[in-house]
Copies of this chain bind each other. A is one copy, B any other.
Amino acid sequence: MTSRPEERPPATPDRSSTTERPRRAQLVGTGLIGGSIGLALRARGWFVTGDDLDPGRAADARAMGVVDRVGHDPGAELAFVATPLGAAVGAVVELLARGGPDLVVTDVCGVKAPVVAGAGHPRFVGGHPMAGSEQAGLAGADPGLFEGATWVLTPTGDTDLQAFSRLRDVVASLGADVMTLSPADHDRLVAMVSHVPHLVAAALMNAASRGAKEDAALLRLAAGGFRDMTRVAAGQPGIWPDICADNAGAITAALDVLLGDLSDMRRRVAAADRTALLGVLQEASAARRALPARASRPDELSELRMPVPDREGVLAEITAVAGGLGINIYDIEIAHSAEGPRGVLMLLVERGEADRLRQAVTRRGYRCSVQELR
Protein backbone atom coordinates (compact mmCIF):
# COMPACT_ATOMS: atom_id res chain seq x y z
CA MET A 1 0.00 0.00 0.00
CA THR A 2 1.41 3.40 -0.97
CA SER A 3 1.28 5.89 1.82
CA ARG A 4 -0.65 9.04 1.14
CA PRO A 5 1.17 12.32 1.82
CA GLU A 6 -0.45 12.94 5.19
CA GLU A 7 0.59 9.45 6.23
CA ARG A 8 4.31 10.00 5.73
CA PRO A 9 6.19 9.21 8.92
CA PRO A 10 8.06 12.02 10.61
CA ALA A 11 11.80 12.12 10.15
CA THR A 12 13.73 9.79 12.42
CA PRO A 13 14.00 11.71 15.68
CA ASP A 14 17.33 13.25 16.46
CA ARG A 15 17.79 12.35 20.11
CA SER A 16 19.97 15.39 20.88
CA SER A 17 17.39 17.74 19.42
CA THR A 18 15.05 19.58 21.72
CA THR A 19 12.27 19.88 19.13
CA GLU A 20 9.42 17.50 19.93
CA ARG A 21 9.10 14.94 17.22
CA PRO A 22 6.65 12.11 17.77
CA ARG A 23 8.10 8.81 18.87
CA ARG A 24 7.52 6.07 16.33
CA ALA A 25 6.17 2.58 16.96
CA GLN A 26 5.58 -0.39 14.72
CA LEU A 27 2.60 -2.64 15.25
CA VAL A 28 2.32 -6.09 13.67
CA GLY A 29 -1.15 -7.48 14.25
CA THR A 30 -4.13 -5.18 14.60
CA GLY A 31 -6.64 -7.29 16.50
CA LEU A 32 -8.00 -6.58 19.96
CA ILE A 33 -4.66 -6.24 21.75
CA GLY A 34 -2.68 -4.75 18.86
CA GLY A 35 -5.47 -2.32 18.09
CA SER A 36 -5.69 -1.26 21.71
CA ILE A 37 -1.94 -0.69 21.84
CA GLY A 38 -2.16 1.41 18.68
CA LEU A 39 -4.96 3.55 20.09
CA ALA A 40 -3.23 3.93 23.45
CA LEU A 41 0.09 4.93 21.85
CA ARG A 42 -1.54 7.40 19.46
CA ALA A 43 -3.44 8.95 22.37
CA ARG A 44 -0.02 9.62 23.91
CA GLY A 45 1.37 11.26 20.79
CA TRP A 46 3.12 8.34 19.13
CA PHE A 47 3.19 7.90 15.37
CA VAL A 48 2.11 4.31 14.79
CA THR A 49 2.69 2.26 11.66
CA GLY A 50 0.69 -0.93 11.54
CA ASP A 51 0.65 -4.15 9.63
CA ASP A 52 -1.37 -7.34 9.85
CA LEU A 53 -1.23 -10.82 8.37
CA ASP A 54 -4.60 -9.87 6.90
CA PRO A 55 -4.07 -6.73 4.74
CA GLY A 56 -7.79 -5.96 4.96
CA ARG A 57 -7.59 -5.76 8.71
CA ALA A 58 -4.59 -3.43 8.54
CA ALA A 59 -6.59 -1.16 6.22
CA ASP A 60 -9.50 -1.26 8.66
CA ALA A 61 -7.12 -0.31 11.45
CA ARG A 62 -6.01 2.71 9.43
CA ALA A 63 -9.60 3.67 8.71
CA MET A 64 -10.51 3.36 12.39
CA GLY A 65 -7.61 5.55 13.48
CA VAL A 66 -5.84 2.70 15.25
CA VAL A 67 -2.68 3.33 13.23
CA ASP A 68 -1.41 6.40 11.39
CA ARG A 69 -0.17 4.42 8.48
CA VAL A 70 -0.18 0.90 7.05
CA GLY A 71 3.13 -0.78 6.34
CA HIS A 72 6.61 -1.00 7.84
CA ASP A 73 8.49 1.85 9.51
CA PRO A 74 12.26 1.24 9.43
CA GLY A 75 12.71 4.16 11.82
CA ALA A 76 10.47 2.86 14.61
CA GLU A 77 12.12 2.64 18.01
CA LEU A 78 9.67 0.10 19.42
CA ALA A 79 7.72 -2.71 17.79
CA PHE A 80 4.80 -4.65 19.25
CA VAL A 81 4.06 -8.05 17.75
CA ALA A 82 0.42 -8.81 18.46
CA THR A 83 -0.11 -11.74 16.12
CA PRO A 84 -1.32 -15.19 17.13
CA LEU A 85 1.35 -17.27 18.83
CA GLY A 86 2.16 -19.32 15.75
CA ALA A 87 3.19 -16.24 13.76
CA ALA A 88 4.92 -14.30 16.52
CA VAL A 89 8.50 -15.58 16.34
CA GLY A 90 8.64 -15.08 12.57
CA ALA A 91 7.38 -11.53 12.91
CA VAL A 92 9.83 -10.73 15.72
CA VAL A 93 12.82 -12.07 13.79
CA GLU A 94 11.83 -10.17 10.67
CA LEU A 95 11.38 -6.91 12.57
CA LEU A 96 14.76 -7.22 14.26
CA ALA A 97 16.40 -7.95 10.92
CA ARG A 98 14.78 -4.98 9.17
CA GLY A 99 14.87 -2.47 12.06
CA GLY A 100 17.50 -0.07 13.26
CA PRO A 101 20.20 -0.87 15.82
CA ASP A 102 18.15 0.58 18.69
CA LEU A 103 14.85 -1.07 17.84
CA VAL A 104 13.24 -2.84 20.80
CA VAL A 105 10.74 -5.56 19.97
CA THR A 106 8.15 -7.12 22.24
CA ASP A 107 5.15 -9.40 21.80
CA VAL A 108 1.87 -10.00 23.60
CA CYS A 109 1.52 -13.79 23.43
CA GLY A 110 0.03 -15.77 26.29
CA VAL A 111 2.96 -18.22 26.36
CA LYS A 112 6.42 -16.77 26.72
CA ALA A 113 9.17 -19.41 26.77
CA PRO A 114 8.88 -20.50 23.10
CA VAL A 115 8.67 -16.91 21.82
CA VAL A 116 11.60 -15.71 23.91
CA ALA A 117 13.69 -18.74 22.91
CA GLY A 118 12.65 -18.41 19.27
CA ALA A 119 13.49 -14.71 19.14
CA GLY A 120 16.79 -15.19 20.98
CA HIS A 121 17.81 -11.54 20.82
CA PRO A 122 18.90 -9.07 23.52
CA ARG A 123 16.57 -6.39 22.16
CA PHE A 124 13.54 -8.65 22.26
CA VAL A 125 11.65 -8.66 25.56
CA GLY A 126 8.67 -10.98 25.89
CA GLY A 127 5.45 -9.38 27.11
CA HIS A 128 1.97 -10.43 28.09
CA PRO A 129 -0.69 -7.84 28.84
CA MET A 130 -3.25 -9.60 31.04
CA ALA A 131 -6.19 -7.75 29.56
CA GLY A 132 -9.00 -8.85 27.35
CA SER A 133 -12.45 -7.92 26.30
CA GLU A 134 -15.72 -9.69 25.65
CA GLN A 135 -15.58 -8.06 22.24
CA ALA A 136 -12.93 -9.76 20.17
CA GLY A 137 -10.95 -8.34 17.27
CA LEU A 138 -10.32 -4.81 16.13
CA ALA A 139 -13.90 -3.84 16.99
CA GLY A 140 -13.07 -4.37 20.67
CA ALA A 141 -9.93 -2.21 20.56
CA ASP A 142 -9.90 0.28 23.41
CA PRO A 143 -7.16 2.77 24.32
CA GLY A 144 -7.98 2.24 28.01
CA LEU A 145 -7.71 -1.56 27.89
CA PHE A 146 -4.45 -1.61 29.83
CA GLU A 147 -5.29 0.90 32.55
CA GLY A 148 -4.62 -0.92 35.79
CA ALA A 149 -4.06 -4.24 34.03
CA THR A 150 -1.07 -6.40 34.84
CA TRP A 151 1.41 -6.47 31.96
CA VAL A 152 4.08 -9.11 32.41
CA LEU A 153 7.53 -8.58 30.91
CA THR A 154 9.93 -11.51 30.77
CA PRO A 155 13.54 -10.36 30.52
CA THR A 156 16.22 -13.04 30.60
CA GLY A 157 19.91 -13.09 31.34
CA ASP A 158 20.54 -12.04 27.73
CA THR A 159 18.20 -9.07 27.74
CA ASP A 160 19.69 -5.67 27.06
CA LEU A 161 19.06 -3.53 30.14
CA GLN A 162 18.37 -0.38 28.14
CA ALA A 163 15.97 -2.19 25.84
CA PHE A 164 14.08 -3.52 28.84
CA SER A 165 14.04 -0.15 30.55
CA ARG A 166 12.69 1.66 27.49
CA LEU A 167 9.97 -0.92 26.92
CA ARG A 168 9.02 -0.91 30.60
CA ASP A 169 8.58 2.87 30.58
CA VAL A 170 6.30 2.76 27.55
CA VAL A 171 4.20 -0.08 28.91
CA ALA A 172 3.85 1.77 32.22
CA SER A 173 2.87 4.92 30.33
CA LEU A 174 -0.14 3.01 28.95
CA GLY A 175 -1.43 2.66 32.51
CA ALA A 176 -0.40 -0.96 33.04
CA ASP A 177 1.14 -2.41 36.19
CA VAL A 178 4.37 -3.96 35.00
CA MET A 179 5.39 -7.31 36.49
CA THR A 180 8.65 -9.00 35.70
CA LEU A 181 8.87 -12.78 35.60
CA SER A 182 11.13 -15.26 33.90
CA PRO A 183 9.52 -16.77 30.78
CA ALA A 184 9.27 -20.19 32.46
CA ASP A 185 7.72 -18.77 35.64
CA HIS A 186 5.20 -16.82 33.58
CA ASP A 187 4.18 -19.92 31.68
CA ARG A 188 3.87 -22.05 34.79
CA LEU A 189 1.78 -19.46 36.64
CA VAL A 190 -0.59 -18.59 33.77
CA ALA A 191 -1.16 -22.31 33.19
CA MET A 192 -2.71 -22.38 36.66
CA VAL A 193 -4.64 -19.08 36.66
CA SER A 194 -5.59 -18.80 33.00
CA HIS A 195 -5.00 -21.78 30.73
CA VAL A 196 -6.36 -24.54 32.96
CA PRO A 197 -9.35 -22.44 34.10
CA HIS A 198 -10.17 -21.88 30.44
CA LEU A 199 -10.07 -25.62 29.72
CA VAL A 200 -12.16 -26.33 32.82
CA ALA A 201 -14.77 -23.77 31.74
CA ALA A 202 -14.96 -25.44 28.34
CA ALA A 203 -15.25 -28.91 29.88
CA LEU A 204 -18.02 -27.77 32.25
CA MET A 205 -19.90 -26.11 29.42
CA ASN A 206 -19.61 -29.18 27.20
CA ALA A 207 -20.66 -31.58 29.95
CA ALA A 208 -23.73 -29.47 30.73
CA SER A 209 -24.47 -29.06 27.06
CA ARG A 210 -24.45 -32.82 26.52
CA GLY A 211 -26.69 -33.23 29.55
CA ALA A 212 -29.06 -30.65 28.11
CA LYS A 213 -29.52 -32.77 25.00
CA GLU A 214 -31.17 -35.37 27.23
CA ASP A 215 -33.01 -32.90 29.39
CA ALA A 216 -33.62 -29.39 28.12
CA ALA A 217 -34.44 -28.21 31.64
CA LEU A 218 -30.77 -28.41 32.54
CA LEU A 219 -29.64 -25.13 31.03
CA ARG A 220 -32.71 -23.35 32.37
CA LEU A 221 -31.36 -24.13 35.81
CA ALA A 222 -27.97 -22.65 34.97
CA ALA A 223 -27.91 -19.67 37.31
CA GLY A 224 -25.28 -17.04 38.02
CA GLY A 225 -22.63 -19.38 39.37
CA PHE A 226 -22.64 -21.59 36.30
CA ARG A 227 -22.71 -18.56 34.03
CA ASP A 228 -19.71 -17.06 35.83
CA MET A 229 -17.78 -20.30 35.62
CA THR A 230 -18.29 -20.83 31.91
CA ARG A 231 -18.05 -17.20 30.72
CA VAL A 232 -14.47 -17.46 29.45
CA ALA A 233 -15.40 -20.50 27.37
CA ALA A 234 -17.36 -18.18 25.06
CA GLY A 235 -14.12 -16.49 23.96
CA GLN A 236 -12.32 -17.00 20.68
CA PRO A 237 -11.37 -20.69 20.49
CA GLY A 238 -8.82 -20.01 17.74
CA ILE A 239 -5.99 -18.84 19.97
CA TRP A 240 -6.12 -21.83 22.33
CA PRO A 241 -4.74 -24.77 20.35
CA ASP A 242 -1.39 -22.97 19.99
CA ILE A 243 -1.37 -21.94 23.65
CA CYS A 244 -2.13 -25.52 24.72
CA ALA A 245 0.52 -26.98 22.44
CA ASP A 246 3.20 -24.43 23.33
CA ASN A 247 2.58 -24.57 27.06
CA ALA A 248 1.70 -28.25 27.21
CA GLY A 249 4.13 -29.09 30.01
CA ALA A 250 2.87 -26.47 32.44
CA ILE A 251 -0.77 -27.03 31.51
CA THR A 252 -0.67 -30.79 32.00
CA ALA A 253 1.14 -30.29 35.32
CA ALA A 254 -1.53 -27.84 36.54
CA LEU A 255 -4.32 -30.07 35.22
CA ASP A 256 -2.85 -32.98 37.15
CA VAL A 257 -2.98 -30.95 40.35
CA LEU A 258 -6.61 -30.06 39.71
CA LEU A 259 -7.58 -33.59 38.67
CA GLY A 260 -6.01 -34.87 41.88
CA ASP A 261 -7.94 -32.35 43.99
CA LEU A 262 -11.21 -33.15 42.22
CA SER A 263 -10.67 -36.88 42.66
CA ASP A 264 -10.09 -36.31 46.37
CA MET A 265 -13.30 -34.31 46.50
CA ARG A 266 -15.20 -37.02 44.68
CA ARG A 267 -14.01 -39.55 47.24
CA ARG A 268 -15.11 -37.31 50.09
CA VAL A 269 -18.52 -36.70 48.53
CA ALA A 270 -19.02 -40.43 47.95
CA ALA A 271 -18.06 -41.09 51.58
CA ALA A 272 -20.25 -38.20 52.81
CA ASP A 273 -17.20 -36.99 54.72
CA ARG A 274 -18.76 -33.72 55.85
CA THR A 275 -15.81 -32.69 58.01
CA ALA A 276 -13.25 -33.01 55.23
CA LEU A 277 -15.57 -31.30 52.73
CA LEU A 278 -16.19 -28.42 55.08
CA GLY A 279 -12.46 -28.01 55.58
CA VAL A 280 -11.75 -27.89 51.85
CA LEU A 281 -14.59 -25.46 51.17
CA GLN A 282 -13.67 -23.20 54.08
CA GLU A 283 -10.10 -23.05 52.81
CA ALA A 284 -11.33 -22.10 49.34
CA SER A 285 -13.74 -19.50 50.71
CA ALA A 286 -11.05 -17.83 52.78
CA ALA A 287 -8.60 -17.84 49.85
CA ARG A 288 -11.16 -16.41 47.44
CA ARG A 289 -12.13 -13.65 49.84
CA ALA A 290 -8.46 -12.77 50.21
CA LEU A 291 -7.90 -12.62 46.44
CA PRO A 292 -6.81 -9.08 45.64
CA ALA A 293 -9.40 -7.23 43.58
CA ARG A 294 -6.64 -6.33 41.18
CA ALA A 295 -2.90 -6.27 41.12
CA SER A 296 -3.03 -2.63 41.98
CA ARG A 297 -0.10 -0.48 42.78
CA PRO A 298 0.09 -0.07 46.54
CA ASP A 299 0.08 3.38 48.08
CA GLU A 300 3.26 2.90 50.03
CA LEU A 301 6.33 2.10 48.00
CA SER A 302 10.00 2.00 48.74
CA GLU A 303 12.83 2.48 46.30
CA LEU A 304 15.85 0.22 46.33
CA ARG A 305 18.97 1.53 44.67
CA MET A 306 21.99 -0.54 43.88
CA PRO A 307 25.02 0.11 41.68
CA VAL A 308 25.22 -2.67 39.13
CA PRO A 309 27.71 -3.64 36.45
CA ASP A 310 26.24 -2.86 33.04
CA ARG A 311 26.37 -6.43 31.87
CA GLU A 312 24.02 -9.14 30.78
CA GLY A 313 22.27 -11.14 33.43
CA VAL A 314 22.09 -8.51 36.16
CA LEU A 315 18.46 -7.67 35.55
CA ALA A 316 17.47 -11.32 35.34
CA GLU A 317 19.33 -12.10 38.57
CA ILE A 318 17.70 -9.30 40.56
CA THR A 319 14.20 -9.95 39.26
CA ALA A 320 14.64 -13.68 39.92
CA VAL A 321 15.60 -12.92 43.52
CA ALA A 322 12.48 -10.74 43.91
CA GLY A 323 10.31 -13.35 42.21
CA GLY A 324 11.62 -16.10 44.44
CA LEU A 325 10.64 -14.06 47.49
CA GLY A 326 7.19 -13.38 46.03
CA ILE A 327 7.96 -9.68 45.88
CA ASN A 328 6.47 -7.75 42.99
CA ILE A 329 8.60 -5.10 41.33
CA TYR A 330 6.36 -2.17 40.55
CA ASP A 331 8.94 -0.27 38.65
CA ILE A 332 12.46 -0.62 37.40
CA GLU A 333 14.72 2.13 36.20
CA ILE A 334 18.31 1.97 35.19
CA ALA A 335 20.48 5.06 35.39
CA HIS A 336 23.62 4.57 33.36
CA SER A 337 26.64 6.45 34.50
CA ALA A 338 28.34 8.53 31.84
CA GLU A 339 31.78 7.19 32.67
CA GLY A 340 32.20 3.47 32.49
CA PRO A 341 30.25 0.27 32.31
CA ARG A 342 28.21 0.69 35.45
CA GLY A 343 24.74 1.88 36.23
CA VAL A 344 22.38 2.26 39.13
CA LEU A 345 19.37 -0.03 39.24
CA MET A 346 16.32 1.44 40.95
CA LEU A 347 13.50 -0.85 41.98
CA LEU A 348 10.11 0.10 43.43
CA VAL A 349 8.56 -2.46 45.75
CA GLU A 350 5.94 -2.42 48.47
CA ARG A 351 7.28 -0.72 51.56
CA GLY A 352 6.78 -3.79 53.75
CA GLU A 353 8.86 -5.92 51.41
CA ALA A 354 11.78 -3.61 50.74
CA ASP A 355 13.96 -4.82 53.54
CA ARG A 356 13.60 -8.49 52.68
CA LEU A 357 14.69 -7.77 49.14
CA ARG A 358 17.56 -5.57 50.29
CA GLN A 359 18.88 -8.36 52.49
CA ALA A 360 18.60 -10.92 49.71
CA VAL A 361 20.48 -8.86 47.13
CA THR A 362 23.05 -7.84 49.74
CA ARG A 363 23.76 -11.52 50.34
CA ARG A 364 24.48 -11.75 46.62
CA GLY A 365 27.10 -9.02 46.84
CA TYR A 366 25.14 -5.91 45.79
CA ARG A 367 25.33 -2.69 47.76
CA CYS A 368 21.72 -1.72 48.19
CA SER A 369 20.06 1.25 49.86
CA VAL A 370 16.37 1.68 50.62
CA GLN A 371 14.41 4.88 50.57
CA GLU A 372 10.74 5.29 51.42
CA LEU A 373 8.80 7.21 48.83
CA ARG A 374 6.35 9.89 49.95
- Shortest Cβ distance from residue A189 to the other chain B in the assembled complex, whole angstroms: 5
Evaluate contact between B282 and A237: CB separation under 8 angstroms. Answer: yes
- Set B131, B185, B211: member contacting A189, Cβ < 8 A: B211
Let me know if A220 is at the binding interface, CB within 8 A.
Answer: yes
Question: Taking A287-B205, A287-B209 as contacts, is the C-beta distance between A199 and B262 under 8 angstroms?
Answer: yes
Let me know if A300 is at the binding interface, CB within 8 A.
Answer: no
Closest residue of B by beta carbon distance from A264: B203
Alpha-carbon distance A240/B211, docked complex (angstroms): 23
Evaluate contact between A193 and B219: CB separation under 8 angstroms. Answer: yes
Let me know if A233 is at the binding interface, CB within 8 A.
Answer: yes
**Residues of B contacting A197 with CB < 8 Å?**
204, 225-226, 229
**Residues of B contacting A211 with CB < 8 Å?**
189, 192, 257
Let me know if A102 is at the binding interface, CB within 8 A.
Answer: no
* Most chain B beta-carbon contacts within 10 A, residue among A204, A251, A274, A278: A204
Let me know if A216 is at the binding interface, CB within 8 A.
Answer: yes
Interface size class of A (residues with CB under 8 A): 35 or more
Evaluate contact between A202 and B278: CB separation under 8 angstroms. Answer: no
**Residues of B contacting A150 with CB < 8 Å?**
220-221, 223
Alpha-carbon distance A199/B225, docked complex (angstroms): 11
Alpha-carbon distance A34/B360, docked complex (angstroms): 55
Chain A interface secondary structure, helix, strand, loop or mixed? helix
The complex is assembled from copies of this chain, and their number is: 2
Question: Taking A241-B278, A278-B238, A278-B240 as contacts, is the C-beta distance between A258 and B203 under 8 angstroms?
Answer: yes
Evaluate contact between A207 and B283: CB separation under 8 angstroms. Answer: no
Let me know if A96 is at the binding interface, CB within 8 A.
Answer: no
Interface string of A84-106 (1 = CB under 8 A from B): 00000000000000000000000
Q: Which residues of A are at the interface with B, using a C-beta cutoff of 8 A?
A: 130-132, 149-150, 152, 179, 181, 185, 189-190, 192-194, 196-211, 215-238, 240-242, 244-245, 248, 251-252, 254-259, 261-263, 265-266, 268-270, 272, 274-275, 277-278, 280-285, 287-289, 291-292, 295, 323, 325-328
Q: Which 4 A-B pairs have the closest CB atoms?
A: A216-B326, A202-B284, A241-B274, A237-B281
